[in-house]
Structure 1
Amino acid sequence: MRRVFLGLDLPDPIRAALAMQQFLLPLPKKAPPEQFHLTLLFVAEAPDAALEAAHEAWSALRIAPFPLQLQGLGLFGGDRPRAAWAGVAPSEPLIRLQARCEGAARLAGLDPEHRRFSPHVTLGMFRPPGFAETAALERAVAAGADFRAGPWEVAEMVLWQSHLGARGARHEELARYPFS
């Protein structure tokens, strides 16, 4: 069994813009900028046979490249935030891509995570901080509400394997799927 996710890699100028926003936020723990990505779907336990079938299905998808832009910052976790993220401007092509990829994964026998698709790039994941730290983080995120990066042209998606370790997850690229 493998722990995998399908997503979009980010061009260097977008990574740099995200790293600057990350620097400006008082995050208790920051995601490594080299691992910034936008997840389309996540599978906690992917059997090799189903993963191979999904790989073939994703390779066969015909998708036109499309523009994408990051927009806004936010926190997951409500009163006890546990992650900071950069949002994505509304994009019908992105929503269609995610639905097609998830459908292909399910037909192949994979069981992707059951969450509503909320496109974002994670800037940091952490244990909920104390009241003062949470207030400072919320103020900094509100100050970055007008954050924008891009647009850039999305022309491929990537399959990564996630290896969990003491310092967090390490991502290993398994395949790239160029758009037609």
Structure 2
Amino acid sequence: MARLFVAIEIPPALADALLARVPRAAGVRPAAAHQIHLTLHFLGEQDEMAAVRVEQALGAVSCASFPLAVQEAGYFRGRRASVLWAGVASSPALDDLHASVERAVAASGSEPEENTAMRHSPPRFQPHITLARCTPAVPDAVLQSWRVSQTGLACAPWLVERFILYQSHLHPSGAQHLCRRAYALGASGR
């Protein structure tokens, strides 16, 4: 079985700059710089035949390259863990790429790993870059203070020129994301 997701990679210098903003507090575990990405579609566990179908279907995605910029930050609070994230500026091109990836995955016949929350309605695309995971012991005050300290966060845009089908392997020390296949985006016409 292959644990798959489709994502946009984040330039290393930007990933380092964003990770430098993560608070150094007990229970806050920053992501590894080389694994910082923006998820377009999570498929979860897929058998090899389904993985090959997804890989082939994504080859039909046709979108132009586009600029994308980090803007704002926040956190998601969950029962088992919380996530610190950086958001991105509104981007119709990103929305188009996301929709194209969704259509390609659906055309492949592969289903995402089922999640109880997803049984009733599909999740709305909330583009974000996960920067850290926090244990439940991290107080709300630490999370809220971090969010307030990130008010006005804005970074120079970068050019998104490809997206990647990643295969993830879970280990006790954390997940390892490997590029299964990269897909180039077309010239932006500029």
Partner of 2:157: 151
* Structure-2 residue corresponding to 1:134: 140
Give 5+ residue unaligned stretches, structure 2.
Answer: 114-121
Residue 107 and residue 10 in structure 1: after superposition, are their counterparts in 2 closer, same or farther (change >3 A)?
Answer: same
Contact 1:25 1:140 in 2 (8 A): no
CA contact under 8 A between 1:83 and 1:122: conserved in structure 2?
A: yes
Gap runs ≥5 in structure 1:
none
| Equivalent-residue separation in structure 2 for 1:11 and 1:103 (angstroms) | 26
Q: TM-score, normalised by structure 1?
A: 0.90
Task: Choose 10-19 or 155-164, whichever is displaced more.
Answer: 10-19
Equivalent-residue separation in structure 2 for 1:115 and 1:96 (angstroms) = 16
CA distance in 1, matches of 2:48, 2:81: 35
Paired AA for residue 142 in structure 1? V
- Partner SS state of residue 21, structure 1: coil
1:61 paired to 2:61: yes
The SS at the match of 2:15 is helix
Q: Secondary structure at the match of 2:180?
A: strand
> Following superposition of structure 1 onto structure 2, how do residues 101-112 of structure 1 map, counting pairs within 5 Å?
101-112=101-112
In the alignment, is the contact (CA less than 8 A) between 2:12 and 2:33 conserved in 1?
Answer: no
| CA distance in 2: counterparts of 1:78 and 1:52, whole angstroms | 33
SS of structure 1 residue aligned to 2:102: helix
Partner secondary structure for residue 155 of structure 2: strand
Structure 1 residue 121 corresponds to structure 2 residue 129: yes
Residue 16 in structure 1 maps to residue 8 in structure 2: no
RMSD between superposed Cα atoms in Å: 1.9
Please state how far the C-alpha of 1:79 moved relative to its aligned partner. Answer: 9.3
- Partners of 1:127 and 1:16 in 2: CA distance: 22
Letter in 1 for 2:177: H
TM-score normalized with structure 2 length? 0.85
Q: Percent same amino acid at aligned positions? A: 34
> Residue 175 of structure 2: SS of its match in structure 1?
strand
What's the CA shift for 1:25?
5.7
- Tell me how far apart the structure 2 counterparts of residues 103 and 84 of structure 1 sit (CA, whole Å): 29
Q: Which residue of 1 aligns with 2:88?
A: 88
- Residue in structure 1 matched with residue 170 of structure 2 by the alignment: 164
C-alpha displacement at 1:81, in angstroms? 6.3
Aligned residue identity for 2:48: D
Which aligned segments of 4 or more residues in structure 1 are displaced greater than 6 angstroms? Answer: 78-81
In the alignment, the residues of structure 2 paired with residue 157 and residue 58 of structure 1 have an alpha-carbon distance, to the nearest angstrom, of: 10
CA displacement at 1:93 relative to structure 2: 0.7
Count of residues paired in the alignment: 177
Deviation at 1:169, TM superposition (A): 1.1
Q: Secondary structure, in 3 states, of the residue corresponding to 2:30?
A: coil
> Of Structure 1 and Structure 2, which has the larger fraction of its residues in helix?
1
Superposed CA offset, 1:120-174 (max 9, x none): 00011132225xx320221122111211122011010011111111122111111
